[in-house]
Chains A and B, each alone.
Chain A
C-alpha cells in the first residue's frame, strides 16, 4: 500500500491521463460542492425559522386582559378588565393539576437604566421564579430570582446577556448595582436566551418588588404559565378553553367576548412551526441524498468508462507480468486518490462559497448557511466508497479478461 514505487506508477497514470483525471475529479468535486451549497442553504433556512420561533417554552400560555367588546349582565361594553392578585390566587387554586409553572407578570417598558457612565432603556418585568422556564432563559452567571427575594421584596434583578454587554462592556455585572428609574438594584444573575436579541434585553425583578413600585391595589398586567406537559394537545386546548371561560365568568364578561381576555396558547403555534421545521428537514435531506445519488451515478459511469478505455493497457500490463491483484489495486488506488482529493477540493470550495455569500443571503431568510464538517466529510467518504465499488467491479472484470482478448486487434 505504501510502496513508493507503486505510488510513482499511480501518479504517472493520473498525471499523464488528464482528461480521465479531470472527468472523475470534476464529478466528485461538483457533487460535493452542490451537496454543501444546497445543504448549507437549507440549513440557513432552517436556522431562520428556528430563530424566529424558538425561545419560549413549547407549552407556554399567556393571558392578557383588555376592554370588553360586548355588554353583559347590565355592564356596558368598553369596560377595562384589570387582573389583580386575587386572579393569581384563583388560577392557582382552580387549575393546580393542569399547570406546571405559573407566574403573574408586571411589565414596564422603557425603564431608564444607569450604571456609572453607561445608560440605556430596557423593559423591566416583575415575575415569580417560575417565570424562568417559561422564557427558556438560561442562567450563565449567578442565579435567577427566588421566593425569598419575593417575600423580602428585595431590590435585586436578573439581567439579560445584552444588558450586561451594553452597560458593563467586557466586565461582569454580577454583584454590581444598577439604577433603574431612580432606584438602585443589585444584579444577582445574568441570563442568555435562545430566543435571540430581544429576549436578552429584559430585566427581571421580583414580582412583589415590582408591584410595590409600579402598581397599587394588587394590580398586575398578565399571566404566564406552562401547562402540565403530560396533557395531550387536545387536553391542553380544553384546559385553556376552561381557563378562559372561568376567568370571563369571574370578571362578568360575555362568554363570546374575544377582546376582554385573550389567552394565547403557544402549543398551537409551536405545532405548526414544528411541522414546518420537519418539512424543511425532510426537504434538505431529500436534496442532500438526491445530490449524492447523482454524484454516485456520475462517478460510477466514469469508472466503468475508464476501465473500458484501459482494457488494452491492462492487457499489455498482464502480458508483461502484472498479476490480477496488482491490476485491481492500481485502479482502486487511482480512483480513491482522485475521488478523495477532489472531494476535499469540493468541500473546501463549498464551505468557502457559503462563508462568502452567507451574509448577503440573510435578507432572503437564509441565516448562517453552513454544513457540519462531519456531514460533508461523511458525504465525501460515501462518494469515495461509491467510486471505489464502481471502480472495483469493472476493474475485477478487466483483471479477469484474458490478455489475448484485451490485446486482440480491432
Chain B
C-alpha cells in the first residue's frame, strides 16, 4: 500500500538546510496497523506529511497504492488525498462553525457528492462512532474524545485506503485514549490500513507493528508481541 525507498527530505533554515529524513525505506502492506515511534525532532511528522501528500520529498521514491508520487501539483495532491487518505490530527482540526454532521460531510463535498447523499453517508459514519445523537452539535459543544471521534468519522467517510493519525490521543486523557485506539483497531479489523504517529509507548503497543525513528533514520522495525502471538 505504501512503499518508500531511500526517502530524503531537508528543510532550509536560513542559509543552511536541516536534513530531517536521511534515506528511509519502508513498506507497509494493505491492512496493516503500523505505528511510527520517535521523540520530537526524529522526523516522524515529516514522514507523515510526505506520506499524507501534504509535503513533497526531495529524493527517493514513494508509491501510494502502486502509484508513483512525483511531480505532484497541488490539485493532483488534493484529489489523491481526497481519494486515498483520511486524516486524524492531534488537535482534531474540526471546522468550528460547522456541526459534527457537516464536518463529517465536508470531504464528500470535495468529492463532488450531492447534499442529500452527503448527509446520509455522514450520518451513517457518525452512527458508527456512536455520535448520531450529536450530529447537530458544534465542535465547541463536544468533549475532546467526542471531537476525535467526529474527526475519525470524517477520516473514514470517503472510504480511504489509508488512515493517517498524527498523535491521535495526544490531547486526550487515558480513558478516552484507549477508546479512540479501540476505534482505530476496529477500523483496521475491517481491513483498512492505519498509520499512527505517536511518542507514547502504550499507544504504540496497541498497534501491530512499530517503526522507530531517530534522527531521520529507522532504527528498528518490529512486530509487537501481540501480533507475534497471534
Contacts and interface: CB of A to CB of B under 8 A. Distances in A.
Given A322-B78, A323-B79, A407 B89 contact: yes
Interface string B85-115: 0010111011111100010001101110011
Interface string A1-43: 0000100110011001100000000000000000000000000
A165 interface: no
Contact of B93 (A9, A12, A319, A322): A319
A316 to B, nearest CB: 5
B44 interface: no
B55 interface: yes
A222 interface: no
Contacts of B97: 13, 16-17
Given A9-B109, A404-B49, A404-B54, A318 B78 contact: yes
Contacts of B115: 5, 8
B154 A320 contact: yes
Contact of A321 (B79, B95, B98): B79
Nearest to A5: B115
A389 B102 CA distance: 30
A409 interface: yes
A320 B106 contact: yes
Contacts of A321: 78-79, 81-83, 107, 110-111, 158
Interface residues of B, number: 31
A313 interface: yes
A399 to B, nearest CB: 8
A320 B87 contact: yes
A374 B136 CA distance: 46
B229 interface: no
A316 B109 contact: no
B70 interface: no
B54 A402 contact: yes
B109 A400 contact: no
A195 interface: no
A256 to B, nearest CB: 87
Given A5-B109, A17-B97, A323 B75 contact: yes
Contacts of A325: 75
A220 B55 CA distance: 98
A326 interface: yes
Nearest to B76: A323
Given A5-B115, A402-B55, A323 B78 contact: yes
A313 to B, nearest CB: 5
A399 B81 CA distance: 15
B65 interface: no
Contacts of B106: 317, 320
B74 interface: yes
A320 B157 CA distance: 11
Given A313-B95, A409-B90, A400 B74 contact: yes
Nearest to B164: A319
A317 B106 CA distance: 8
A322 B75 CA distance: 8
Given A312-B93, A409-B91, A326 B98 contact: no
B93 A316 contact: yes
Contacts of A409: 90-91
Nearest to A400: B74
Contacts of B110: 317, 320-323, 326
B15 to A, nearest CB: 21
A408 to B, nearest CB: 9
Interface string A316-338: 11111111111000000000000
| A9, A322, A324, A326 — most chain B CB neighbours (10 Å) | A322
A319 B86 CA distance: 9
A31 B66 CA distance: 57
Contacts of B54: 319, 402-404
A320 B75 contact: no
Nearest to A322: B110
Interface string B45-72: 0000100101100000000000000000
A407 B109 contact: no
A329 to B, nearest CB: 12
A324 B154 contact: no
A242 B230 CA distance: 124
Nearest to B115: A5
A316 B95 contact: yes
Contact of A319 (B81, B91, B98): B81
B161 to A, nearest CB: 14
Contacts of A323: 74-75, 78-79, 110
> 3 tightest A-B contacts by CB?
A321-B82, A321-B110, A16-B97
Given A5-B109, A5-B114, A319-B54, 15 more contacts: A9-B109, A312-B93, A313-B96, A317-B95, A317-B110, A318-B81, A319-B52, A319-B81, A320-B106, A321-B107, A321-B111, A321-B158, A399-B74, A404-B49, A404-B55
26 contacts: A5-B115, A13-B97, A312-B93, A313-B96, A316-B94, A317-B110, A318-B81, A319-B52, A319-B54, A319-B81, A319-B93, A320-B82, A320-B107, A321-B78, A321-B82, A321-B83, A321-B110, A322-B110, A323-B79, A324-B75, A326-B110, A400-B74, A402-B55, A404-B54, A407-B93, A409-B90
Interface of A: 5, 8-9, 12-13, 16-17, 312-313, 315-326, 399-400, 402-404, 407, 409
